[in-house]
Structure 1
Amino acid sequence: MLPGEPAAQREVLREAVGWLVEHVDQPQVLAARCAELGPVVAQLGVVPQRLDNLAVLFVDMLRANPPGVPVRRDQEEAWATTGRLVARWLADGAAAAAHEPVSWSAPVLAHERRGQVGAELRVRTYLPYPCLPGQLAVVESVLLPGRWRHCWAVPDPAAGNVGELHVVPHGIDPVGAALVERTAAGDVLRLRPVYGQPAADPMSARPLLVVAGRDAVAPVRALLGMLRATGDPRAVTVFWPAAVERDLYRLADVAAEGTVVIRGRFPAGHDEDWTGHDAFVADEPAAVAQVRARVVAAGVPEDHVRVAAG
């Protein structure tokens, strides 16, 4: 479940074991944090029987670090007991997931304002947060507990469990306003499982039409980056009403060769035939239904159109 790069794995494990050592004499704290992780572990497909291996793994870790230092029997027994307790508390938390929504803790690593009303938040989850381009993260701000909002999510597989959340408040939007105006690096957000379909059907070979609103550059960048990284050969045409010409490079610099990026709203003319295409529409909630209708009217079958509103 940990990031693929060995250096990233070691860093996450070092932090986790360090936290465990600091809090092992506070079982109430340890139990509560394990219970929080339990539902996420279950969501990621780890069965309770696998958690029982933690006792063995903790002892193996003790013997290997540092190399050559003898380990006493009582130390082994202490670590094995700790492993069994952690496994039990994780399993208890996983069992509770049947009654409560799963959530990930996501510390904010960086917060950057975009334009006059938007912001990009770089966040980290210690366990993977499954998310594909086009899907929306469901986010709670610590400032407004119990209130959740959909946000554009930009996963970054190369960065391990680090990704971006892009927020542009619309209308009366207290959570969006809190994320943009009152959130800073060091704050901790909570994420629930993603909402919506991925932008592109991985089993399709049809050309792809992408129609994005001005504030929807985040999911489109994520989609184009994924298609290039996976070597997806399908033809892609993007309509995006960029404010200025240089904004187009925010898409072009991540797109595969041959991707057509058109600065403008869809449709640009009346002669295009989009029959035989898949489509992805990303826009603000008030506009996405109208844009979808225009895409269907241009020839894309309704069941080949995927939408996201953020």
Structure 2
Amino acid sequence: MNLTRIDLNLLVVFDAIARTGSVKDAAPQLALSQPAVSHALNRLRVLMDDPLFVRARNRLVPTERAQSMIGPVAGILQSVRVLMRSDGLDIVEDNRHFRIGISDFAALTIVPRLTRKLQQVAPNATLELINVGEHTLAQLANGELDCTFWGLQPPESPYLSQFLFHDSFVGFCSADHPLVDLGDQGVSIDDYLLYPHAVAQFRASGSSPIDVFLKNIGRHRTIALRSPSFMSNITAIVGTKMVATLPSLLESIALSQGLLSFPLPFLIPNFSYSLVWHRRTEADPSGIWLRRLLVEMR
């Protein structure tokens, strides 16, 4: 492709439409009329030989080609902003849009503090949270994510990571559960396995460390509920005979929902929680700023 034919403003229009899903909503963001935005989109369609966006349920939905362009285009535009800035990066004044991959655990423990902090130090910044899953690493690679929270062993190059904190596991049950009557006697492993369990199962994770431990000693627990989130398990076991094993940082939330906690009757190693990003964003000033903010919050 002849690069002299590419108008950078067409990428700006593409980015705005991809974010808003609408020519009408993109126009005021670009300080352009709707016909001007439509004209720019048509020029880019001809240039890319692809419709890029098709209408579905009153919104413009990206085609497969456009979907593959969203992350790279956002990265190109951010790089241009940094290059053209004469006075250095100023996140406080920027309308910077951050995209972070999150798990249910991060949503409950980190995100509330992050949103409050961003409002304090960078009120013009916006935040988009995307569930982690099997495509998370690809999203980091193509620019759809700036970084992601990570509860597994951090991936190898070209991905980079920063340790955030350790956490441990704690048992939880309803306030009227028979385990509560054990009192100072404590919960034995037989008591723990006597009742059905609720577990959170995430697509990107393997076997639970709880189940790995139990398998190693020739035991197993009965799983009565599998869900994609810790929060759904917390609310689901209230008033039941089910038991849940959760990260200790969720204890205050669990207690607020009417659950009680108890120490596990066996030792499970603490797990590490990290921040992961792609090497190509290592030197990005806004990425550095965001990662530094998240590390300072730990």
Q: Does TM, scored on the shorter chain, surpass 0.5?
A: no
Higher share of residues assigned helix: 2
Greater Rg, structure 1 or structure 2? Answer: 2
TM-score, with length taken from structure 1: 0.28
Say which structure, 1 or 2, has more relative contact order (CA 8 Å, 6+ apart).
2
